[in-house]
Amino acid sequence: MSKQINVALIGNPNTGKTSVFNALTGLNQKVGNYPGITVEKKEGICKLSRGVKAHIIDLPGTYSLNASSLDENVVIELLLNKNDKDFPDVAVVVSDVENLKRNLLLFTQIKDLEIPAILVINMADRMRYKGISLDIPHLEEQLNTKIALVSTRKNYGIAELKELISNYRELSTAPCMHASEIDKDYFDSLRKAFPDQLLYKLWLVITQDVNFGKTDRNEIEPVADFKTKSKSDLKRLQQKETIKRYQFINETLKKGQIIDLSTAKDLRIKLDRILTHKVWGYVIFFLILLTIFQAIYDWSSVPMDFIDSTFASLSEWTKNVLPAGTFTNLLSEGIIPGLGGIVIFIPQIAFLFLFISVLEETGYMSRVVFLMDRGMRRFGLSGKSVVPLISGTACAIPAIMATRNIESWKERLITILVTPFTTCSARLPVYLIIISLVIPDKRFFGLGYQAMTLMLLYLIGFGAALGSAMILNKILKIKSKTFFVVEMPNYKLPLPKNVALTVIEKTKAFVFGAGKIILAISIILWFLASYGPGDDFNKAEEIITAEYANQNLTDDELQQHVASQKLEHSFLGITGHAIEPAIRPLGYDWKIGIALVSSFAAREVFVGTLATIYSVGSDDEETIKNRMAGEVNPILGGPLFNFASGISLLLFYAFAMQCMSTLAIVQRETNSWKWPILQLVIMSTFAYIIALIAFQVLK
């Protein structure tokens, strides 16, 4: 049985920590959430020498052990709780060769916890380019550690790092400086009161608002011979500690790091002037977004069509080859289409995360966040909310997954809750067929009414998202610190390996996380549509054959009428009839009711459901449109799909949460059913009220 050691990978954001993690673990990694919270947990296995395996946890990026966010709390809680199964045998602290001074603050704090620590100086291939030279023996002596010079881009230093991890027992656990010197009397009394506890651990417990297993602040403060300090005094001591650490780091780097600015070549300042410009910055960003989403539509259409046709063929093949019966129907009409409903999202998700990963790897995404933050703040959002909101026009699912880099839980939650208001591509089939029915095909100053209506629906979606974000910001009583700290990393070419692993992991997270919920609901909808009580359902074929006996219908046409009869009297059809009194004030009948219920599986199902209801035999929109145009309102008379009911239906789909896939991913990202249920109820209620007002005013 091979031995396994725990390794914690720690570092500031943008030090290349993920690159080191990928280089060590390759594909032997998995992504999940920490128990009970939504912070992402990445872990993997690295094979070392002599049959030893390293269980590596890639901890969230943090600037110091003075926590200011949920993800930073995760780092501190692990490092201070020796009873945690993931408590590290060795900490690998990743730093960036160009920001060594700032990165070493975190390293010196970890050394005070007396955990064996290795310092990784990453991006070492840029040393010559930036005019940097390092005295490694001097740095190792001053920092009481071993240093690995690494370049994941040039693929060197990883073997040496693995060797250091294997020999972690040889590392010194002595601190490289003593923070207690900032107030000797206070720390001496703390040491006397708790002689069995690590001094710096006690200090962190006193000053942080986090949980550390058995060591609790309430157990520390009541001790008689230990005098507590006020919060303001503790804050001043924290500041003194930081100053003292930087004094030590400056002294260490005077000899340990030499930077020859004359040899440094840097385009960063010139690029930043353009990309963060108050006018051109926005223009460039929106041009990039336009290009990305056009590419997503163009590139994903071919694989999505292929997936759609493949699953349709597989379903038909299953129905023809297997013996007729309930199991075959479940397989061909429930499970296979349900799996297709999961897999068909993969191209959009993969392409979106491909582009997001490239933008993050190059360093451009940090500039976008900086650029957009001020405008988003007034709506209770972060600058980082921009990408999810705009990418929601392709699909809300990857857009919601893209909120993970928003540090503030409140801002992230608001972004998740409002993103579904943006018009996704699944709404387009619904919009196009309704618009073509109720909006005249005329032009105003060269602009078509139908095109203007479609554009207006997109604008309404964005407006609803921003407006609801502003309301949520005022009513959500969630304590969440919102310090806006954004790293401006150097521009660099993305590493293909990092991009590929990001795309694979995000796609896997969707397929295995939300996929099982989507599949389950698909099977439930299949059951409701495939079974029904009474003779109207069970004897549908006899009823239709008798009704159309004199019309010389082909077998296909007859089967379409049978399918329509069965659907109307199935449990799903009965549901449509049951909700008809509630939706009649909106201008809808039971047939639209069925389409509304069934399109909860996915909005684009609306068109396919109408094809079955109207016995069309295909999803050809022209044929469906002709049938819909001929429908008569049973109560008011005249066309069922008129201007009033059409606008009502468009607005309902603009605001309603008609997508179980989105609900599934919201549940996964928030780790709770409370938020997706509230989202479903509030958005659907709002959609109903707006659609009701629109129909009653326009009819």
Select from 209, 233, 264 the last residue of a domain. Answer: 264
Q: Same domain for 579 and 615?
A: yes
Q: Same domain for 70 and 137?
A: yes
- Other beta carbons within 10 angstroms of residue 108's beta carbon come to 25
C-alpha to C-alpha distance for 167 and 52, rounded to whole angstroms: 11
C-alpha to C-alpha distance for 677 and 4, rounded to whole angstroms: 42
452 lies in a domain?
no
In three-state secondary structure terms, 122 is strand
At residue 446, the pLDDT reads: 67
Per-residue tokens: 129: 């380019």
Per-residue tokens: 255: 């000899």
Q: How much of the chain is helix, strand and coil, in % rounded to 5?
A: 65, 10, 30
Per-residue tokens: 586: 């909106």
Q: Same domain for 635 and 564?
A: yes
Q: Same domain for 10 and 79?
A: yes
SS3 of 514-546: the string is CHHHHHHHHHHHHHHHHCCCCHHHHCHHHHHHH
455 lies in a domain?
no
Q: Same domain for 49 and 191?
A: yes
Q: Same domain for 23 and 52?
A: yes
* Contact in structure between 417 and 467 (CB atoms under 8 Å): no
* Contact in structure between 357 and 365 (CB atoms under 8 Å): no
- Please tell me what DSSP assigns to residue 490: P
Q: Measured between alpha carbons, how far apart are the two ends of the chain, in Å? A: 76
Q: Is the model more confident about 171 or about 633? A: 171
Read off the pLDDT of residues 448-466 as tens digits, 9 standing for 90 and up. 777 778 778 888 988 999 9
Q: Same domain for 595 and 476?
A: no
Give the position of tokens 């999810």.
388
Per-residue tokens: 173: 């656990």
- Other beta carbons within 10 angstroms of residue 484's beta carbon come to 15
Mean pLDDT of 497-519: 74
Q: Same domain for 285 and 249?
A: no
Q: Is the pTM of this model over 0.75?
A: no
At residue 479, the pLDDT reads: 64
* Contact in structure between 116 and 89 (CB atoms under 8 Å): yes
Q: Is the model more confident about 484 or about 58? A: 58
441 lies in a domain?
no
Q: Same domain for 233 and 376?
A: no
CATH code for the domain in which residue 169 is found = 3.40.50.300
The angle, 0 to 180 degrees and rounded to 10, between the axes of the packed helices 268-275 and 364-377 is 40
527 lies in a domain?
yes
C-alpha to C-alpha distance for 683 and 417, rounded to whole angstroms: 10
Checking if the pLDDT of 2 tops 60, the result is no
Give the position of tokens 């089967």.
559
Mean pLDDT of 549-578: 81
Q: Same domain for 605 and 682?
A: yes
At a CB cut-off of 8 Å and minimum separation 6, what does 576 contact? 568, 590, 591, 593, 594, 597
Domain that holds residue 80: 1-264
Per-residue tokens: 526: 């299949």
* Contact in structure between 93 and 106 (CB atoms under 8 Å): yes
640 lies in a domain?
yes
* Contact in structure between 240 and 463 (CB atoms under 8 Å): no
Looking at every residue in the chain, the average pLDDT score rounds to 81
C-alpha to C-alpha distance for 176 and 172, rounded to whole angstroms: 10
- Please tell me what DSSP assigns to residue 493: P
C-alpha to C-alpha distance for 518 and 344, rounded to whole angstroms: 12
Q: Residue 402: which of 352, 477, 463, 347 has the closest Cα?
A: 352
Select from 234, 264, 294 the last residue of a domain. Answer: 264
C-alpha to C-alpha distance for 309 and 217, rounded to whole angstroms: 61
Going from the C-alpha of 537 to that of each of 541, 566, 571, 599, 611, the distances in angstroms are 9, 5, 10, 22, 19
Read off the pLDDT of residues 131-184 as tens digits, 9 standing for 90 and up. 888 999 999 999 999 999 998 888 889 999 999 999 999 999 999 888 888 888
270 lies in a domain?
no
Residue 5 sits at φ, ψ, to 5 deg, of -115, 150
Q: What's the pLDDT band for 506 if we cut at 50, 70, 90? A: confident
Number of domains composing the chain:
3
161 lies in a domain?
yes
433 lies in a domain?
no
- Please tell me what DSSP assigns to residue 212: B
Read off the pLDDT of residues 207-260 as tens digits, 9 standing for 90 and up. 875 544 444 444 444 444 556 778 888 888 888 999 999 999 999 999 988 887
Q: Same domain for 666 and 589?
A: yes
Checking if the pLDDT of 28 tops 80, the result is no
Q: Is the model more confident about 7 or about 72? A: 7
Read off the pLDDT of residues 375-426 as tens digits, 9 standing for 90 and up. 787 888 877 787 788 777 767 887 887 787 676 778 888 999 999 998 876 7
- Please tell me what DSSP assigns to residue 208: -
Select from 235, 264, 293 the last residue of a domain. Answer: 264
Q: Same domain for 205 and 305?
A: no
